[in-house]
Amino acid sequence: MVKEKRIGTGKSSLLLLGVMLLGSFLSAAAQDRIKIELNMGQERPRIAVPDFKGANGDPQTAPLNTVFNQVLWNDLDNAGIFDLVAKSFYPSQTPGQPAELQAKAWGDPPPNAGVITFGNLGVNNGKVDVQGWLYDVKNPGAPQILGKQYKEDATPDMARTIAHRFADEIIARLGSGIAGIAESQIYFVSTRSGNKEIWSMDYDGANQKQITKLGSIALSPRISPDGSRLAFSGLAKDSWQIMMYSLELGRTVAFPRNAGDNFSPAWASDGTKIAFASTVHSGLSEIFVADANGAGARRLSTGKGDVSPVFNPKTNGQIAWVSGRTGLPQIYVMDADGSNVQKMTDQGYAVSPAWSPNGLLLAFAWVRNYGPGVLGGSDIYLMDIASRQIIQLTHDGGRNDFPSWSPDGRHIVFQSNRTGNEQIWSVLADGTHLQQLTRQGRNSQPNWSFK
């Protein structure tokens, strides 16, 4: 039984996510694995990514060029929308300038590339200069698609940043106009300072840095849509409170306290509202929504043990959350004013909903066949909200939890203890390209930035 579901972007006629159901979970006997394929409605472009050439003999040129080439390759590979032509197929002569490009040698087999990116990097007077191009080598005229130049301080960090920026330009040009994620950030909880604090890293796991220094327990980081503020749950002297860290000021800023415990914040994608769970009303946790500055908190749900709200980022008109009102936790959706409550799952142990950027999918963690003696196996699943079709994303055992979508909707980051202790992993939304991003300490609750 094969069924295909297409999810458009609205504006673009290009197919963003082709959801191919290889089997239906409704059929008990059928194999219930479902794959999502990410493509552009056509073949994935075959892109050749020869190393950029060193433009001069400055001693810093070679090491920075090595960093740049690695990061650019990984970014294009991670994007999930290209086939990268293996380097063993490349012609012996590599271009560093458009004049050196022999388009036919790249467009013909064996490389059989559709597009090529190339360029050069040189360090002059403490500045690193990068020139990069993207050419279509299948067209007879081999037209230029993109040409960019960058100049920054000659540091490995800036070489990395330039590679991210150039990769994002290529991805935006070839990826249906959806911006790349190479400059996005992932926020997460780490124990490596001795207690749970919020940390950040680049999307590929580089540059891991401690953000908060609360000294007690910090959980559930949620970055604001503009990337300036980080909301999280912090254990204060006698209660959990929503806390706010300003990345611009480099410190925690005031946020109103509520009586009782307050945790699991979530931003509306327009930055005007924060939803969270609070026990202030009944002693049991219920979903509240407040203005972005914490003022005007009002209760939306009346459940027993409601937690983990998340806005539909496309409309901000709905909130998904977790409730234990009927026993084991299940995923629910309501309108942003608390009306029109719908139960989305009705078996197992379903928690940690994450709403896809296009508003169409919910990722969540599910112990699907929960029962005595079958505890512990939690996997990441995707649900197409309109049809309630469910797709299993991870199959590798252990406890997988806290999925969070990349800004382009093509990747999911999550926590998994598959290696023995909790670490952060990322995966393409079609289940491929699984990567471990953290290794030190125990790391959990990743949250991908909005852009």
Partner 1 sequence: MNKSTSNRIVVLGVLAFLLVASGCKKKQPAPPPPPPPKAVSATLSANPTSIEAGQSSTLTWSTENATDVALDGNKVDPSGSQTVSPTQTTTYHLTAKGAAGTQEATAQVSVTPKATPTPTPAPTPPPITEDQLFAQTVKDIYFDYDKADLRPDAQQALAQAAQVIKQKGWKVQIEGNCDDRGSTEYNLALGERRADSAKQALIRNGISADALKTISYGKEKPQCTDQNEDCWQKNRRDHFSLLH
Binding-site ranges for partner 1 (CB under 8 A): 196, 217, 219-220, 233, 235, 238-240, 260-261, 263-264, 277, 279, 283-285, 304-308, 322, 324, 327-329, 349, 351-352, 365, 375-376, 378, 399, 401-402, 444-445
Which positions ≥6 away from 87 have C-beta within 8 Å? 50
Nearer to partner 1, 39 or 417 (CB): 417
What is the nearest approach in angstroms of partner 1 to the Cβ of residue 406?
A: 21
Nearer to partner 1, 187 or 263 (CB): 263
Nearer to partner 1, 117 or 352 (CB): 352
Nearer to partner 1, 61 or 394 (CB): 394
Amino acid at 449: S
What is the nearest approach in angstroms of partner 1 to the Cβ of residue 168?
A: 32
Buried b (16+ CB within 10 A) or exposed e, 303-321: beebbbbbbbbeebebbbb
What is the nearest approach in angstroms of partner 1 to the Cβ of residue 424?
A: 14
Nearer to partner 1, 128 or 277 (CB): 277
What is the nearest approach in angstroms of partner 1 to the Cβ of residue 282?
A: 8
What is the nearest approach in angstroms of partner 1 to the Cβ of residue 331?
A: 11
> What whole-number distance in Å separates Cα of residue 333 and Cα of residue 345?
10
Nearer to partner 1, 128 or 333 (CB): 333
Chain-centre distance for alpha carbon 436: 13
What is the nearest approach in angstroms of partner 1 to the Cβ of residue 239?
A: 6
Nearer to partner 1, 367 or 390 (CB): 367
